[in-house]
Amino acid sequence: EDQVTQSPEALRLQEGESSSLNCSYTVSGLRGLFWYRQDPGKGPEFLFTLYSAGEEKEKERLKATLTKKESFLHITAPKPEDSATYLCAVQAPLIQGAQKLVFGQGTRLTINP
Amino acid sequence: SQTIHQWPATLVQPVGSPLSLECTVEGTSNPNLYWYRQAAGRGLQLLFYSVGIGQISSEVPQNLSASRPQDRQFILSSKKLLLSDSGFYLCAWSVPSSGAKKLFFGSGTQLSVL
């Protein structure tokens, strides 16, 4: 069964304090790994897609990396506006051409000024 | 550009009452459509998906149903709500593809069943 586990559940950082969020996964043949950002009461907002081990993608203060078993979301010199829940998801086998994303529980990140 | 609309944003319903949540997508044709539920402290759970008009597939047995009466319209329904139906409901769409494609989510509906 495809599974995604994110750690830690919650993380508090001071502004400017860099850190990493972890996403461990088990899937029968990885087709893609996705990172989303979700603000309270809002729908998830797409950040990155990673397709193969060794791949990296960056956007502003965020960098996502991928290995064969896990992905990391590195946050460099975060600001209070980076506070959100970060969700990781893997693409499970397609179902009739539809995407089936299996999500982790998320990491709730708080950046204190 | 493509946009997804989901309403209402918040809903409080008594147990046993009916439910209808609506989602529409603009700016694309023949999208794949999805309903997810997010319970407090838990990950997003896929409820239904649709690859075309009238084609609905359910991922988990439950008290809910879905319909797709038009290409870009997706409706989530229940005849009688249960307390356990409370949660944050998200509609999403993706382009039909044989590869991994990202999902675009709506703004969600917070449903409280009392």
pLDDT digits (tens, 9 = 90+) for A53-86: 999 999 999 999 999 999 999 999 999 999 999 9
Q: Any idea what DSSP says for residue A76? A: -
Q: What percent of chain A has pLDDT over 90?
A: 84
**Residue B98 pLDDT:** 66
Q: Element (H or E) spanning B36, and its range?
A: strand B32-38
Buried b (16+ CB within 10 A) or exposed e, B97-109: eeebbbbbbbebb
Closest by CA to A106, choosing from B14, B39, B9, is B39
Mean pLDDT confidence for B1-22:
94
**Residue B43 pLDDT:** 85
**Residue A60 pLDDT:** 95
**C-beta separation of B19 from B111 below 8 A:** yes
- The per-residue pLDDT of chain B, averaged, comes to 92
A85-100 pLDDT tens trace = 999 999 887 777 778 8
Residue B79 scores a pLDDT above 80: yes
What does the alpha-carbon distance between residue B37 and residue B108 come to, in Å, rounded to a whole number? 9
Mean pLDDT confidence for A25-48:
93
**Residue B36 pLDDT:** 96
Mean pLDDT confidence for B25-48:
90
Mean pLDDT confidence for A19-36:
93
Residues in A closer than 8 angstroms to B101, CB to CB, are: 32, 99
**Residue B23 pLDDT:** 96
Residue B26 scores a pLDDT above 90: yes
What does the alpha-carbon distance between residue A4 and residue B75 come to, in Å, rounded to a whole number? 28
**Residue B2 pLDDT:** 82
Q: What percent of chain B has pLDDT over 90?
A: 78
Residue B97 scores a pLDDT above 80: no
**β-strand B10-13 against B109-113: which pairing, if any?**
parallel
Mean pLDDT confidence for B81-94:
95
Mean pLDDT confidence for B65-84:
96
Name the residue in chain B with its Cα closest to that of A101: B46
Best residue in A45, A48, A99 for a mutation probing chain B (most B CBs within 10 Å): A99
Q: Do the Cβ atoms of B104 and A46 come within 8 Å?
A: yes
Mean pLDDT confidence for B88-102:
86
What does the alpha-carbon distance between residue A23 and residue B44 come to, in Å, rounded to a whole number? 15
Q: Do the Cβ atoms of A101 and B103 come within 8 Å?
A: yes
Q: Do the Cβ atoms of B97 and A31 come within 8 Å?
A: no
List the beta bridge partners of residue A4: A25
